[in-house]
Amino acid sequence: MAHADSSTDLAPIVGRNLRRLRTQRGLSLERLAKASGVSRAMLGQIELGQSAPTINVIWKIARALAIPFSALISTTAQSGTRLMRSAQSKRLASHDGSFSSRALFPFDEPRRVEFYELRLDAHAEERADAHPPGTMENLVVTAGTVEIDRGEEHHVLGQGDAILFEADVAHVYRNPGNVGAVMYLVMTYAETVG
């Protein structure tokens, strides 16, 4: 289950968005389950807001629907200046809580770029599925050490190091250190999303 503060519970938001996007595409739960690799029962629970999916489950669903990750966790639009208080931000975590992602942008506007704060506990690893073709990740480490595996490539980044890579293949973020790592990620899509 995703770990989220009660004030920013994503389960009902993801559920509403999933149902809307799935029905817009004329997909049954069964067809989406086959396309995404997420069980029909889990998809049903997510749509009803009874289950908060992990980051990996949201990525699988987004990939199957050919939409950006953020489309599943977006809320209604606002205009003007956006202040995104840390305490009210949307945070998603891996099933064990060792990896978390905080969106640093509003979801409800057309965009090609998304900005995230990522945190990875000491000795933890997060596996990411391939993103749509043309997706680029630009990541900078601000605390700790992070290893990035992309296919056969292996890179070690320390504090202040940055990497830019095509994210259309499965990749891994790993923290080999004894302290938590903090990263900032700019994700750029080939086409406008949102």
Helical segments of the chain, H only = 11-24, 29-36, 40-47, 55-65
Q: Which among 109, 110, 64, 72 has a CA at the least distance from the CA of 90?
A: 72
Measured between alpha carbons, how far is 28 from 50 in angstroms, rounded to an integer?
19
Q: For residue 101, which phi and psi values (nearest 5 degrees)?
A: -130, 130
How many residues appear in the chain?
194
Q: In this predicted structure, what is the pLDDT of residue 24?
A: 81
Measured between alpha carbons, how far is 113 from 111 in angstroms, rounded to an integer?
6
Q: In this predicted structure, what is the pLDDT of residue 77?
A: 44
Q: In this predicted structure, what is the pLDDT of residue 33?
A: 94
Q: In this predicted structure, what is the pLDDT of residue 173?
A: 98
- A 10 A CB-CB count for 190 gives 13
The DSSP output letter for 105 is S
Written as tens digits, the pLDDT of the chain (194 aa) is 333 343 347 788 889 889 888 888 888 999 999 999 999 999 999 999 888 888 889 999 998 998 887 788 876 544 456 677 787 777 888 989 999 999 887 665 556 888 999 999 999 999 999 988 899 999 999 999 999 999 899 999 999 999 999 999 999 999 999 999 999 999 998 876 65
Measured between alpha carbons, how far is 83 from 2 in angstroms, rounded to an integer?
24
The dihedral sign for the CA sequence 62, 64, 67, 71:
negative
Q: In this predicted structure, what is the pLDDT of residue 26?
A: 84
Does the predicted TM-score (pTM) go above 0.75? no
Q: Is 8 exposed, middle or buried (0-12, 13-18, 19+ CB in 10 A)?
A: middle
The DSSP output letter for 58 is H
Measured between alpha carbons, how far is 192 from 71 in angstroms, rounded to an integer?
12
- Is the distance from CB of 172 to CB of 126 less than 8 angstroms? yes
Q: In this predicted structure, what is the pLDDT of residue 78?
A: 44
Q: Which among 187, 178, 4 has a CA at the least distance from the CA of 90?
A: 4
